Amino acid sequence: MRREWFKFALYALIVLLAPLCVNGGYLLNVLVFVGINTLLAVGLNLLLGFAGQISLGQAAFYGLGAYGSGVLTASYGWNPWLALVAAALTVGVLAFAIGFPILKLKGHYLAMATLGFGIIVFIVFNEYVDITGGPSGLPGIPNLTAAGMTFDSDLKNFYLIWAVVLTVVLLAINLVHSRIGRALRAIHDSEVAARVLGVNARLLKVQIFTCSAVISCIAGSLYAHTVTFISPASFGFHFSIELLTMVIIGGLGSIYGSCLGAALLTLLPEMLRTFQDYDIVVYGFLLVAMTMFLPGGLVQGGGLLLSQLKRLWPGRGGNNA
Amino acid sequence: MLEVRDITCVFGGLVALDRVSFTAQRGEITGVIGPNGAGKTTLFNIVSGIYQRTAGSIVFGDLDVSGLPPERLARHGLVRTFQNIELFGQMTVLENVMVGLHTKSTSGLLACALRLPWQRREEKKIRSRARELLDYVGIPDLADQSAASLPFGQGRLLEIARALALEPQLLSMDEPAAGLNSRETWQLGELIRRIRQDGVTVLLVEHDMELVMDVCDRIIVLNLGQKLAEGTPRQIQENRAVIAAYLGEG
């Protein structure tokens, strides 16, 4: 556990120092989105990497958070925090309710069902023009406020969102190192063996699906209040695949892997502007290449590299590996 | 202790089990044997809640447990092992046993995420109890190894340790000697006897006749989905119908 604390402290330090390195401006804005995507990737990894259950509908929960907060604050004048909590609770109940029938499915069928859910929600965002504004979007969402301060600059939003990210990362790390985390990994490896040992696989899968949905929903609310304008295009199937890519590239079953994957895939398009129109092609290529050559993801790949280097360095080999 | 009454199981048009009844007495080792295709595994999967029976009932203690899913059976003290050891390959040996202690701990998702004090105390208890269990089956030094890296024989011991973590009243083992060499099989026999001595009733489905005749108090013979014979190892060895079923009626 001490090692876990060290890793977490290191990660928090990198995060807190990041704004100093980018000198404000545009890149700071990108770092805010790195935070939001990290939340989403960590949420998905709990479900996919630990419990081994796929979801191609994460963008829908993200969108429900964004639209929940957006509509309640912009159209009905609710307090943004209250709207955030209301959206999270509603999505939690919804995910719990659809989780029971949907998580009975396995493999491809589960992928199809979650995909279907994502598409339904996407259509609702587009077609319920009276409420959501339809394809042209929903403007005028207020910024979050706390103790008389409005989170209207990139720097303020950076600290707000990353405070949430660090909290969620810490909770996720605790969870995966507990009896619940072990039970989830057990379900992943052999559901029947886990059940024989008394693990209520069905309930646990639904619980973690709900957690993952609520995290995505909170990310959506934060997104809406940060950008103040949302449109359905941000919450389509395309984005669910992007999240999947982040999780797989970082490494299934590694929380920091998801942090790394989210950071890379958010920063990469900014660095490779020329690919902009072809980014889905690049994601596809990355997915194929990763699953072929580095199925354990970047974090595990890095670990392998490190142990190889240690072997080449005879003086200090092996001891602390 | 475990009373199987008129269990019938039909797959499509195939009658896999036809009104099979037997009783496993408390504190005894009961063996189920039979030629290939006799219905042993089907019977076993029904008793452990993996398959659904077509008719009949299963009573455990005073409780009707027919049709309960495996996770409920586990909480009632009915635990099984698998023929092709089903270890959690991504975890260490110790963590595998810790999963076995899942029902012995209660911290929920929130308590775990928040690392509340009682959850941390419970975690410590789980860890030390898991070490005791590895000790019990004789593989304490393997605690931090990856479970996927274990040779088959040690994997079998780990699976038994993991099942014992639930403190079962009835431990069902599906062909525990499959894939073991003769020395490992002998050690397994010793372990099964020790488990019985510690008050666990054992139900054993097995191909290895030497092991069955050696450790079982009572044997049930299945053939073509029906109970062919029941008795002590000696009675079974002398039973003409059993010999005919195994060697073919010439």
Question: Which residues neighbour A314 within 8 Å (Cβ) at sequence distance 6 or greater?
Answer: none
pLDDT digits (tens, 9 = 90+) for A243-291: 998 999 888 989 999 999 999 888 887 776 666 677 677 777 877 887 7
SS3 assignment, position A160: helix
Give the A:B interface size as CB pairs under 8 Å: 102
Q: What is the DSSP secondary-structure string of A108-159?
A: HHHHHHHHHHHHHHHHHHHH-HHHH-GGG-B--PPPPEETTEE--SHHHHHH
| Max CA pair span of chain A | 70
Q: Note whether A250 and A299 are within 8 A (CB).
A: yes
Put simply, whether A189 touches B (Cβ < 8 Å) is yes
Dihedral sign for Cα B16, B19, B20, B23, please.
positive
Predicted confidence band at A24 (pLDDT cuts at 50, 70, 90)? low
> A321 pLDDT exceeds 80?
no
Predicted confidence band at B21 (pLDDT cuts at 50, 70, 90)? very high
Please give the sequence-ordered ranges of beta strands (E in DSSP) within chain B, or none if there are none. 2-11, 14-24, 29-33, 55-60, 63-64, 78-81, 170-174, 201-205, 218-223, 226-231
Q: What are the backbone angles phi and psi of residue A306, rounded to the nearest 5°?
A: -65, -45
Encoded tokens for A293: 């050559």
pLDDT digits (tens, 9 = 90+) for A119-143: 999 999 999 999 998 899 999 999 9
Of A1-10, A208-217, B56-65, which range is least confident? A1-10
C-alpha distance from residue B57 to each of B9, B46, B50, B60, B62 (Å): 11, 10, 15, 10, 12
Q: ipTM score here?
A: 0.91
Predicted confidence band at A318 (pLDDT cuts at 50, 70, 90)? very low
Whether residue B112 and residue A178 make contact (CB cut-off 8 A), yes or no, is yes
Whether residue A197 and residue B162 make contact (CB cut-off 8 A), yes or no, is yes
**What is the percent of chain A with per-residue pLDDT over 90, rounded to a whole number?**
66
pLDDT digits (tens, 9 = 90+) for A40-87: 999 999 999 999 999 999 999 999 999 999 999 999 999 999 999 999
Domains of chain B: 2-87+152-247 (3.40.50.300), 89-149 (no CATH)
Global pTM exceeds 0.95: no
How many angstroms away from the CA of A167 is the closest CA of chain B?
10
Chain A residues touching B169 at Cβ < 8 A: none
Helices assigned H by DSSP within B89-116 = 93-100, 109-114
Put simply, whether A172 touches B (Cβ < 8 Å) is yes
Chain B residues touching A186 at Cβ < 8 A: 88, 91, 99, 102
Whether residue A192 and residue B50 make contact (CB cut-off 8 A), yes or no, is yes
How many residues does the structure list for chain B? 250
Whether residue A195 and residue B102 make contact (CB cut-off 8 A), yes or no, is no
Of A171, A174, A183, Cβ closest to residue B99: A183
What value does the mean pLDDT take over residues B173-181? Answer: 91
What value does the mean pLDDT take over residues A146-159? Answer: 86
Whether residue A198 and residue B75 make contact (CB cut-off 8 A), yes or no, is yes
B interface residues, A as partner, C-beta within 8 Å:
48, 50, 69-71, 74-75, 79-80, 82, 86-91, 95, 98-103, 105, 107-109, 112-115, 119, 122-123, 126, 162-163, 165-166
Whether residue B122 and residue A179 make contact (CB cut-off 8 A), yes or no, is yes
Q: How far apart are CA B20 and CA B16, in angstroms?
A: 10
> A320 pLDDT exceeds 90?
no
Which of the residues B109, B129, B171 would you substitute to probe the A interface, choosing the one with the greatest number of A C-beta atoms within 10 Å?
B109
Whether residue B166 and residue A183 make contact (CB cut-off 8 A), yes or no, is no
Which residue has better confidence, A148 or A175? A175
Please give the pLDDT value at position A236. 92
Of A15-19, A145-149, A166-170, B98-102, which range is least confident? A145-149
Put simply, whether A8 touches B (Cβ < 8 Å) is no
Average predicted confidence (pLDDT) for chain A:
89
Question: Domain locations in chain A?
Answer: 2-236
Question: Which residues neighbour A215 within 8 Å (Cβ) at sequence distance 6 or greater?
Answer: A39, A40, A42, A43, A46, A168
